[in-house]
Structure 1
C-alpha cells in the first residue's frame, strides 16, 4: 500500500471524455445489468423492508414528526408488491392528522402573536431590550406557518429520498455480501427525540424567568416550534452520520472487490454504489431545500437581532440578567447552525475525500490492467459527482457557511452597536 500523499491533479475535468471512452472499452464484455449490480423489482418488497436498517433504527424520529404533523409520509404495507416503500399523499390519515394538529396549534400561535404585536405597538415606553425581545419572539412564531407547509409541499421528494435509502441498503447487501450496520443509531435517535422536546422546554422556560413580560401561557405557543427546529437539526445529523457510515462500510469492503474473480467488474459495481450514495446526498438537499432554507433564514435573523440587542444594552447600561436571555437565544441558534454545517462537512469529506484517498492507496501493481483502469474510472466518478450537500443549488452547507454567518453577525453588530 502506498502511504505517500497523492494529488488529484491527474483527474481534471478535461480528461473526462478520454476516461469515458476507456470505460466503454473496459466494459464491452459485461452485461449492463452486471455493471449496476442486481436489479430490484416489485417482488423484492419484503426484502426491502427486511433489510431497511436505516428506517428501523430511525423510525422513532419519523413517528415523532408524524405526531407533530410536520412530515406525514407513511410506509406501505409489508406485503405490498412495489419498490416504493415510502409514500406521501395530500389526502391520507397522516396528512389529515397533520392538518388537524397544525390548525389547533395555529389558534394559540395567532392569539399569542396578536397579543405580542398589540403590546409592541401600544407601549412606546418599553426599554430597548424589551423591544428586541418582542421582535424576536414574533419572528419565532413565523416558522409555525412556513416549515410544516414547506414540508408537506416537498413530501413527494422526501418520500423519494427515503426510498433511495431503502433501495441502496438492499443493493449494498447484494453486491458486498454484508449489510450496512448503523451502530448506536437506534439509541441515538430515541435520545434526540427526547432531547429535542427537553431542550425546547428548557429554552422557552428560561425566557419566561428572564423576561418580565413573558407570561407562562405564552410559552405554549413556542414549545412545538422550538422542538420542530431541534427535530430538523436531529434529522440532518442522523442523515449525515448515516452517509459517513455507509461510505466507511463501502471503503472497508474494497478489499473484497480487489480479491474477487473479476475485480474490474466488482469495482464497477462498487463505483455505481458510491455514485448512488453521492446522489442521495444531493437528493437530501433537494427534498429538504425549502425547510432548511427557511430554517437557516430564521436562525440568521434571530441571531442578528439578539446579538445586536445584547451588545447595545451592554454598551448603554452594562450587563444584566436580561441580556443573558438574549445570549441564550444566540447560543442556541448558532449551535443549531454549527451542527448542521459541521455534520455536512464531515459527511462530504468522508464520502468524497477520504474515500478517494483510500482508492489512491490501492497497490496498483497487485491488480490486473482492467482493474487499474476501473480504479481510475472510480476516481473520475468521484471528481464528476462531488458529494456536496446544498439546498437545491442555493447554497452549499459546510463550515464555510457557518464561518460566513458568524463573521457577518460579529462584524455587522459590532459596527451597529458602536455607531
Structure 2
C-alpha cells in the first residue's frame, strides 16, 4: 500500500483518472466473473475458425461494388495491391511483388519522365522570360507544387501497401462475420453506381481543371497538361475512396444498429456478445483506414493547405494592384476546388464517426435496463465500455484527426497567414507610394 501511494503521488491528474478508470474496469470484470460462471462469455471472444475462402469471396459485397475504383488505382499505378484467388490459408488481398506491382513501377517511370520534363520546361521558361509579373510567379508556384505528389507517391502510397491490404482483408472478414451473427448479408445498394461515377468524374474534373489553363496562361503549352491529368485524377480518386469508405462505414453501422435493436427486443444476451464483437471490429476498421492511408492523405492535406494560401493571396494581391481579371477568377476556381476536397474528406469522416460511435451510444443509453434481465444489463454495460475504450476516430496514424475540427482549424490557419501576407503587401505599397511622392517632390524642387 505504501508503494501504491508513492506511485499515486507522482501521477498528474489525467494519469490518476486513467488509472482509476482501469481499476474500476478490472473490478467490474472480476465482480461479473464471481456472480456467474456463465458471464465469462460476456467479455471473452471465442476463437475464430478458418472460413471457406469461396464463401468469403461470395459475400464480399464491399469489394465487388467498389472494384472499379481499385482497378483504376491499379491502372494508374497508385496502389498496386493484388486480389488473390480464393485459396484456403491465403489472404484475399496482398501487397507483394507481382505483375500489378511491375506495371505500377513502369507507369510511374513513364509519368515521372513527363513530370520532370514539364517541370523543367516551366522553370526554364520563367527564368528566361523578362516579364516576371506577380501573377506569373503565383501560377508557376501553384503548378509546380501540384507536381510534388507524384514524386512522393512511392513513399506516401506504396510504403503503406501492406496496411491497405490489411484494411481490405478486414472488410472481407467482417462481412462474413456479420452474416453469421445477424443472418443477413451486408449489401451496399448504391456503391456500385457511385464508384463507377467517381472513376469517370475523377478524370473529367481533371480535364476541366487543367485544360483551361492552356488558354488562360501564355506559357502553359498543350503538352504541359499531360503532366497534370493523372495527378489531379489521383487526388480526385483518393477523395472518392475516402467518401466511399465513410459511406460504407455509415451504412454498416446503421444496419448493425437496426439488427441490434431487434436483438434487444428479443432479450437474448448471448447475441449481444456477438454484436459487441462486430462493433469493435467495425471501430478497428475505421482506425485502420486512417493508418493505411496516413501518409497519402497527410500529403494531400498539405498540398491543399499550401495551394489554397498561395492562390488566395495571389488573387487578392492582383485585384488590389490591377483589378479583377479572368486569371484571378481561375485562381479562385483552384481555391474552391481545393477547399471542396478538404470539406468532403472532413465532413464524411465526421458523419462516419458519429454514426458508428455517438449513435450507438445513444441507442444503448436509451435501453430501459429495468425491463431486461441481469445478463442483458451486464452486456449493455460492457457494450458502453467497449465504445468508450475503442472510439471510432479517423486518425492519420497519429498525425491528425480527420473531422470537422480539422476543416475549421485549417481555415483559421489560412486566414492568419493571409492576413500576415496582405500586411506585408500593403506595407510594400505604402513604401512605394512614399518613395514615389519623395521622388516627385525632389523633381519639383530641381525644376524650381
For the structure 1 residues 314 and 15, does the alpha-carbon distance in structure 2 shift closer, same or farther, using more than 3 Å as the test?
farther
Q: Secondary structure at the match of 2:152?
A: helix
For the structure 1 residues 225 and 418, does the alpha-carbon distance in structure 2 shift closer, same or farther, using more than 3 Å as the test?
same
2:180 is equivalent to residue 166 of structure 1: no
Residue of structure 1 equivalent to 2:379: 374
Distance in 2 of aligned mates of 1:112 and 1:27:
72
2:120 is equivalent to residue 85 of structure 1: no
8 A contact 1:71–1:148 mirrored in 2: no
For the structure 1 residues 204 and 13, does the alpha-carbon distance in structure 2 shift closer, same or farther, using more than 3 Å as the test?
farther
C-alpha RMSD of matched pairs (Å) = 2.0
Q: Which runs of 5+ in 1 are unaligned?
A: 1-10
Residue 415 of structure 1 and its aligned partner are, at CA, apart by 3.1
Residue of structure 1 equivalent to 2:216: 210
2:299 is equivalent to residue 269 of structure 1: no
Q: Secondary structure at the match of 1:162?
A: helix
Q: Can you list the C-alpha shifts for 1:177-228, whole angstroms capped at 9, x where unaligned?
A: 1111212110000000000000000000122222222111100000000000
Residue of structure 1 equivalent to 2:78: 70
Distance in 2 of aligned mates of 1:119 and 1:130:
11
Residue of structure 1 equivalent to 2:26: 17
- Equivalent residues, number: 405
2:322 is equivalent to residue 313 of structure 1: no
For 2:343, which of 323, 338, 348 is the aligned residue? 338
TM-score under structure 1 normalisation?
A: 0.92
TM-score under structure 2 normalisation?
A: 0.86
Q: Tell me which of the two structures has the higher relative contact order, counting C-alpha pairs closer than 8 angstroms and 6 or more residues apart.
A: 1
For 1:363, which of 344, 368, 371 is the aligned residue? 368
For the structure 1 residues 124 and 414, does the alpha-carbon distance in structure 2 shift closer, same or farther, using more than 3 Å as the test?
farther
For the structure 1 residues 32 and 366, does the alpha-carbon distance in structure 2 shift closer, same or farther, using more than 3 Å as the test?
closer
2:48 is equivalent to residue 39 of structure 1: yes
For 1:326, which of 317, 331, 334 is the aligned residue? 331
Q: Which moved more, 1:402-411 or 1:19-28?
A: 19-28
Distance in 1 of aligned mates of 2:415 and 2:34:
56
Residue of structure 1 equivalent to 2:354: 349
Residue of structure 2 equivalent to 1:8: none
Q: Which runs of 5+ in 2 are unaligned?
A: 1-19, 425-448
8 A contact 2:42–2:273 mirrored in 1: no
8 A contact 2:43–2:382 mirrored in 1: no
For the structure 1 residues 29 and 291, does the alpha-carbon distance in structure 2 shift closer, same or farther, using more than 3 Å as the test?
same
For the structure 1 residues 311 and 39, does the alpha-carbon distance in structure 2 shift closer, same or farther, using more than 3 Å as the test?
same
Residue 256 of structure 1 and its aligned partner are, at CA, apart by 3.4
